Amino acid sequence: MSIQTILETMEYGVAPEDDSHARAWLDAHKDGFGHYINGEMTKPGALFETRDPASDTVLAQVSQGTQGDVDAAVAAARKAQPDWAKLSGHQRAKHLYALARHIQQHSRLLAVLETLDSGKPIRESRDIDIPLVARHFYHHAGWAEILEDEMPGHVAHGVCGQIIPWNFPLLMLAWKIAPALAAGNTVVLKPAEYTPLTALAFAEIAIECGIPKGVINIVTGDGETGAAIVGHEGIDKLAFTGSTEVGRILRERTAGSGKALTLELGGKSPFIVFGDADLDAAVEGVVDAIWFNQGQVCCAGSRILVAESVAGQFETLLRARMKTLRTGDPMDKSTDVGAIVHPVQLSRIRDLVEQGASDGATLHQASAPQGCYFPPTLVTDVEPASILSTEEIFGPVVTLTTFRTPSDAVALANNTRYGLAASIWSENVNLCLDIGAQVKAGIIWINCTNIFDAGAGFGGYRESGFGREGGREGMRAYLRNPAAATGKGKGSTPEPLATGPADTIKSGEIDRTAKLYIGGKQARPDSGYSYQVKGSKAVVGLAGLGNRKDIRNAVEAASKTKGWGKATGHNRAQVLYYIGENLSARAGEFTERLESLGGNRKAAQAEVETAITRCFWYAAQADKFDGAVHSTKSEFVTLAMNEPIGVLGLVAPSAQPLLGAISLVLPAIAMGNSVVLVPSQAHPLAATDLYQVFDTSDLPGGVVNIVTGPRDELAKTLAAHDGVDAIWYFGDHSGCKMVETQSAGNLKQSWTEADDARDWAGRGGQGRLFLERATQVKNIWVPYGV
């Protein structure tokens, strides 16, 4: 072939990667791999095969982790954790720095093993995955060094259980282990059953670096091994990356255990192309969005939404580009699309695509060899309700749908239960930023896609999970602040409600009926019942007996207050200041109410005064709880924006009924959320007295809704409601377990504690923790200085 022909066709020659060193390493372990526990490799146990998906050949034999193996790993981690946490930040940083350096020194071995084990192209393993692995350890070595200065008072959780997926085996290990170790935790990690080899190579690197015994433990195995880690009482925090279905199971199984939990789950990310976009660049963006790693990426741009005016031209360009993609041997450096990780995954992709085609979708496919491969696929004539538009395929399959207006694009983008990422393409950056603010996703890429860095948080909204990995917010996930709460507490269990008439109601005033407060109006309970509110000596009033329908109405009212979240922090602050002013003007009335409920006058006055002070503190924070500009890649500015979560269900503590309610409502609405509050079951009148304060403080109707009644019954309804985006529950331990179990339905964020675990009048009742719980971080990647 002549040089002229090569330049005309731009065809690549064969460029195979040498795998002899990796094969030699595998041959050295031909008798099988054990686990890495307490600083050494154990003898192999019952073995299972790990195979090269490209050639369907056995690579190695790996041990199936048992309950005994997990017990030994957790015991080693528990024993090592106090001494590891006592090391200075500088000492921990030195260990992390050593890991980063040795990963670089063994980078080619790790890249080749990753490709052999997972089927991803060597170009991606070599140029993307392994450099990012080293970057994470370097970045978190820095966090270990400065942690005491940047996050004073915070301490490690203890022992972390970590379960990682097969699509980015070593990178996911780095995402989990690096921040955990930097914070002073020890870890027990389970790699994916299909791709354990780089984790085992990392274990040998940890030995080579002299990592103290028990700090890192790696147990291989299948789902049963993972279940043993999830259910182990010696685990203090769990971090999981994988499917939404398994994430939901983990939420249910850990309910009531007290384990901290972060979940990074599935996605169905939109790739939005406006009419003025650079279409050639956007086509290359699609290549990176969906055919990178064979589409086996949780944040893959698997739904193209393209402006109707350029849809035909864009499809033509994309189909032409598909013809040039090289699908084949992952060890060839010229390969664009490698092998699917396992025949089970290949079968799933085929089944979903066949189902979509049978429903009328049109398939446009590139070529692919026989074996564990699937051709790059573009699907047109697909409806938004098609299974190909709604289900995470986790393969090289992308749908194309048109839109006419920006609002149509937003509606289509948000028409999913997921919320992990979105990519937006337009020469009008103002338009991109406007759309980015409206799309419900944790990561927004503007005129780019699939850009990652250790300095920026990664994680999603809705059923894409909760928590972040990377950046400052990722470090916080591996720390706790023990000063915020006095202890675990026992929690309070309310007495049964009395719904019949009372013997007498102690009152010297005209009778006031305490109704529910929904949509800015007082409302009678759907049940038609009231229940007795008792003071220290007698019944002091009646409160409405709320039920499921009342919660439904309150959630509906809260969901309609979109303008509150869009208001500036300054405007929200003015309303909170006004609430404080009006509460102060009626301080005597609220003090009398608290006295009537059984408090002494001095305590009642102190509670009211603290509630007023809290109004002003959160008003001050409304326009000061800022995001950040992360230091990531030179050609981007990465904005970390604190966004409201949406509709919050709040279940207030029983004691200090005014202060408890105020302490939950204020941070939530200061950050732009709307709330449904279940006040103290025993003493709800202190909260219902707030109606008139809210009405006279310019608080828009529906921002705060109050439903009185049986605490745990109402909490269960809130936790199970798909229209509630997060729930805070302060009650007893059985209630905590119930709320966390019910929240698994739509994987809403949950914050549960015994209601006597913190001092509501002191530091534990106020602080940045409440603001962090009331927000979720959206990271926006914007080209900068290119």
CB 707 within 8 A of CB 518: yes
Count of alpha carbons within 13 angstroms of residue 220, beta-carbon side: 33
CB 539 within 8 A of CB 532: yes
The pair phi, psi for residue 404, each rounded to 5°, is: -105, -40
Task: Output the DSSP codes for 517-540.
Answer: EETTEEE--TT--EEEEE-SSSEE
Enter the tokens of residue 440: 């419900």
Runs of H (alpha helix) within 597-723: 601-621, 657-670, 685-688, 690-695, 711-720
* Other beta carbons less than 10 A from residue 6's beta carbon: 12
Cα-Cα-Cα-Cα dihedral sign, residues 758, 764, 766, 772: negative
Runs of H (alpha helix) within 386-455: 387-390, 406-413, 429-438
The residues that bridge with 756 in the sheet, in sequence order, are none
**Catalytic annotation, pick one of 17, 114, 264, 607:** 264
Q: What is the SS3 assignment for 447?
A: coil
465: left (phi over 0), alpha (psi -120 to 50) or beta: left
* Other beta carbons less than 10 A from residue 535's beta carbon: 18
For residue 469, what are the CA distances in angstroms to 182, 679, 775?
13, 34, 16
CA gap 628, 639 in Å, rounded: 6
CB 504 within 8 A of CB 286: no
Q: What is the SS3 assignment for 250?
A: helix
The alpha carbon of residue 772 and the mean position of all alpha carbons in its chain are separated, in whole angstroms, by 13
264 is catalytic: yes
109: Cβ contacts below 8 Å, ≥ 6 apart: 21, 22, 25, 201
The residues that bridge with 643 in the sheet, in sequence order, are 776
Whose tokens are 């003007």? That residue is: 585
Q: Is 783 exposed, middle or buried (0-12, 13-18, 19+ CB in 10 A)?
A: middle
CA gap 76, 68 in Å, rounded: 12
Q: Choose among 393, 447, 433, 440: nearest CA to 419.
A: 440
* Other beta carbons less than 10 A from residue 371's beta carbon: 15
CB 200 within 8 A of CB 33: yes
The pair phi, psi for residue 621, each rounded to 5°, is: -80, -20
In our burial notation (b when 16+ CB lie closer than 10 A, e otherwise), range 712-746 reads bbbbbbbbbbebbbbbbbbbbbebbbbbbbbbbbb
CA gap 415, 436 in Å, rounded: 15
CA gap 314, 272 in Å, rounded: 12
Enter the tokens of residue 663: 């302490």
Secondary-structure percent of the chain, ordered helix, strand, coil, rounded to 5: 45, 20, 35
Q: Mind telling me the catalytic residues?
A: 264
